[in-house]
Amino acid sequence: MITRPKGTNDFLPPTTAGWQYVENILREMAAVYGYREIRTPIFEATELFQRGVGETTDIVTKEMYTFSDKGGRSITLRPEGTASTARAFIEHKLHGGTLPLKLFYMGPMFRYERPQKGRFRQFHQFGIEVFGSKEASVDGEIIAFAMDFYRRLGLTDLKVRLNSVGCPVCRAEHKRRLQEFLRPHLEEMCGDCRERFEKNPLRIFDCKQEKCQSLLVGAPTVADCLCEDCRDHFERVKAYLDEADIPYDLDPFLVRGLDYYTKTAFEIILNEIGAQSAICGGGRYDGLIADIGGSDMPGVGFALGMERIFAALETAGVTLPVEDSLDVFFVALGESAKTHCFAWLEALRKEGLRAEMDHMGKSFKAQMKTADREKAAFVVICGDNELENNEIIIKNMADHAQETVSAASVTETIVRRIKS
Ligand code: HAM
């Protein structure tokens, strides 16, 4: 038997109805907050992520699905959406339009990670990106958007972890101080971290080895090295969050797994879901557009994990009000009755009602069972005999009341009953 690749999921009904429900909320919220949709390819030139996400990140060094296509180009399945969105922004010269430009996307991302609860190799993100504004109000807005979304779903036990990772000026200073702090312990580090030490010592914070983590105790944080501009920006972000009553915890060790961040970096954590508790992550990336060949153009955004929403809903015991019941089920007995039911079914569907009939040649009893299982509000019972006597039965499944109507008034009666 051929099974799905490790770390991927098949989403079956009724799970998919839950996904659609959440996706609809996200689309509605995007409209309310003024974000318009962008759709970019699932695969991109590998170089985009090398330059965008960063050569020393785990994503680029270990987790990318990279292959050569038949033309010999190095192609990578997108591990995230920010680099692609930034690439499209440059390619379509969107800096020429009204700024800030506010975009959203939704779709699958691919990372070759060790699969576990809440961590997959194909997973789905909803993300927003804002291009063109340096203002801290945008940083505030995107965090407010994410928190508003989770609140609408009924997820409230959340925390924003907030940090500023500074600009290249603060980072150079931090790199210097961090190297100074760690240099005496260079020999004790794992091979990966010794390499990180030279290229990008900040990445040592990502190391999973206990030994390396223990060496970081008391290490200087970027927050200790912020320049005046970055410190000021950070204060403004906090002021906006305070003003909007969005609680946050400052976390000077939050560095995020992607290199493009400048100034604001944040994650939203669900208190209960354990190891994979980050349900959303984002921040500002004022250098990304220039790094991948565009002009000097600030940006800020976030992405939230769709799978982790559903894990969070389950943990929090929240059930979504997903509508999957039928308005009417036609129980037909005999060929002539079936033909009539087929016509009524079509007429009701044109009215927008959720209508269904039996397509399996089932007995009367089995059809009634199906109607029950599909949670039909009404059942129309029609046999060849009833049809001859012009007596079609409509049964209200909620109170089991039955009424007999003429064949000519079946659809009209059903529409009236449903609408009332
Ligand atoms: P990220 O933190 O790598 O950021 O991913 C964002 C969210 O995607 C995570 O908080 C998590 O919910 C979900 N996620 C990540 N990896 C997996 C996985 N393997 N399985 C399931 N869910 C996962 C980014 O991707 C940035 N592009 C976010 C961003 C947008 N920053 C600025 N703009």
Query: Which residue, of 282, 316, 350, is where some domain finishes?
Result: 316
What is the maximum span of the chain, computed from C-alpha positions, in angstroms?
Answer: 97
Query: Which residue, of 265, 286, 316, is where some domain finishes?
Result: 316
Residue 273 pLDDT > 80? no
Same domain, yes or no: 275 and 358? no
119 Cβ inside 6 Å of ligand 1 = yes
Same domain, yes or no: 122 and 235? yes
Same domain, yes or no: 84 and 53? yes
Are 310 and 336 in contact by the 8 Å Cβ rule? The answer is: no
**Residue 339: which pLDDT band, with cuts at 50, 70 and 90?**
very high
Q: Of ligand 1's atoms, which has the minimum distance to the CA of residue 308? A: 12
Return d(Cα 189, Cα 211) in angstroms, integer.
Answer: 7
Strand order of the β-sheet with 392-396 is 355-357, 328-333, 378-383, 392-396, 402-405
- The answer to whether residue 399 sits within a structural domain is yes
Question: Is residue 370 classed as helix, strand or coil in its secondary structure?
Answer: helix
Q: Of ligand 1's atoms, which has the minimum distance to the CA of residue 280? A: 10
- The answer to whether residue 204 sits within a structural domain is no
**Residue 275: which pLDDT band, with cuts at 50, 70 and 90?**
low
- C-alpha pair distances (Å), 185 with each of 180, 197, 209, 220, 224: 10, 11, 14, 15, 21
Are 5 and 71 in contact by the 8 Å Cβ rule? The answer is: no
Q: Of ligand 1's atoms, which has the minimum distance to the CA of residue 59? A: 3
Return d(Cα 135, Cα 132) in angstroms, integer.
Answer: 9
Return d(Cα 9, Cα 202) in angstroms, integer.
Answer: 33
Taking the model in full, what pTM does it have?
Answer: 0.93
Return d(Cα 19, Cα 28) in angstroms, integer.
Answer: 14
**Residue 199: which pLDDT band, with cuts at 50, 70 and 90?**
confident
Per-residue pLDDT tens digits for 17-72: 999 999 999 999 999 999 999 999 999 999 999 999 999 899 999 999 999 999 99
Same domain, yes or no: 309 and 394? no
User: What are phi and psi for residue 362, nearest 5 degrees?
Assistant: -75, 160
Same domain, yes or no: 142 and 26? yes
Kindly report the protein residue whose alpha carbon is nearest to atom 21 of ligand 1.
119
Q: In total, how many domains does the chain have?
A: 2
Q: Of ligand 1's atoms, which has the minimum distance to the CA of residue 279? A: 12
Same domain, yes or no: 42 and 83? yes
**Ligand 1 centre from 256 Cα, in Å?**
10
The range of the structural domain enclosing residue 147 comes to: 15-167+227-316
Same domain, yes or no: 248 and 364? no
Most informative mutation of 78, 82, 125, 289 for ligand 1 (most atoms within 8 A of CB): 125
- The answer to whether residue 388 sits within a structural domain is yes
Per-residue pLDDT tens digits for 215-235: 999 999 988 899 999 999 999
**Ligand 1 centre from 175 Cα, in Å?**
25
CATH (domain of 278): 3.30.930.10
Same domain, yes or no: 385 and 251? no
Same domain, yes or no: 360 and 310? no
